[in-house]
Structure 1
Amino acid sequence: MHKLVAVISLVSVLFSMAPAKAGPTEDAAAVRAQWEQVYNSGDADKFSALYTKDSLLFGSTAQLFVGTEGARTYFTKLPPGIKAKMGDQQAIAVGPNVLLSSGFADFTLKDGTVLPFRLTFAMVKVDGQWLIAQHHGSPMPK
């Protein structure tokens, strides 16, 4: 009988526990991993779907690209065959639906040249999905 009570007690404790939630670092890392995967796929539509409809994107060119169409345009202007690899990053939550993430990424050109960059994303949660609202990339200083 004591074993049955112990099992029932354990089961009720387990069911009463709230599920673990990811923190800002984990959420930002997931967005960055998805961004890397989509970037490397070469699919401009999937790339632009990672951005909000009014996003701002400063990438590796001088032009500011706005919105999902701007993200698509930016992506299609890149030389083909570039691959991205995300590096270390830090993230903070500035609200329940806003994350800021700054970190590093290496971009490898078709000829094997590696371009180290700094990337900063501001992410917002829209309908339960994290999207990039602001993206800034700049080459690492020498």
Structure 2
Amino acid sequence: MPDAADEIASAIIAQWSAGFGKLDADALAALYSKHAFFFGSNPTLYRGRDGVKAYFNGLPRWRAPRVQFSDVRAERVNDGLVNMAAIASFFLDGDAPSLVVKITWVIAREDGDWKIACHHVSSQTPLI
């Protein structure tokens, strides 16, 4: 039986994946805390829901984007905090992934709901 951390992470992953598939910046931004920090695929730190929305509105308009999460790990830190780490494979132009990254989220309780408070992606290629 999955624990609460797995269920929380899975629910957000499902919503995030659906939003990304439509490049729906409003739906994606709604998944984030009003205090979110967001490091995506460029060096800019985006902040809050407006920052998240700006990031997704700035992406190219791919024809049929989709994302697949694998190796998902979730851990409950306390009653209001969950850590999630995974591999995210982005399919932007066909059947092979265009981009595969490590992704981490800090998911926090905010106004009675679970929101992504910190989003960070990084290369799978070793830096050192």
Specify the code of the residue in structure 1 equivalent to 2:124: M
Q: Does 1:24 align with 2:8?
A: no
Which residue pairs with 1:93 in the alignment? 76
Specify the code of the residue in structure 2 equivalent to 1:119: I
Count the aligned residue pairs.
123
Please provide the CA RMSD for this pair: 1.9
- TM (normalized to structure 2)? 0.87
Query: Structure 1 pair 113/79, CA: closer, same or farther in 2 (3 Å)?
Result: farther
- TM (normalized to structure 1)? 0.79
Measured against aligned partners, the alpha-carbon deviations of 1:6-50 in whole angstroms (never above 9, x if no partner) come to xxxxxxxxxxxxxx9951112111111211111112211111111
Structure 1 residue runs without a partner (length 5+): 1-19
Which residue pairs with 1:52 in the alignment? 33
Which residue pairs with 1:66 in the alignment? 47
The offset of 1:127, in angstroms, is 2.7
Which has more radius of gyration?
1
Task: Assess if the C-alpha contact under 8 Å between 1:57 and 1:134 holds in 2.
Answer: yes
Larger relative helix fraction: 1
The offset of 1:140, in angstroms, is 1.7
Distance 2:54 2:66 in 1: 18
Structure 2 residue runs without a partner (length 5+): none
Return the match for 1:117 from 101, 117, 123: 101
Larger relative CO (CA 8 A, sep 6+): 1 or 2? 2
Which residue pairs with 1:134 in the alignment? 118
Which residue pairs with 1:4 in the alignment? none
Specify the code of the residue in structure 1 equivalent to 2:125: P
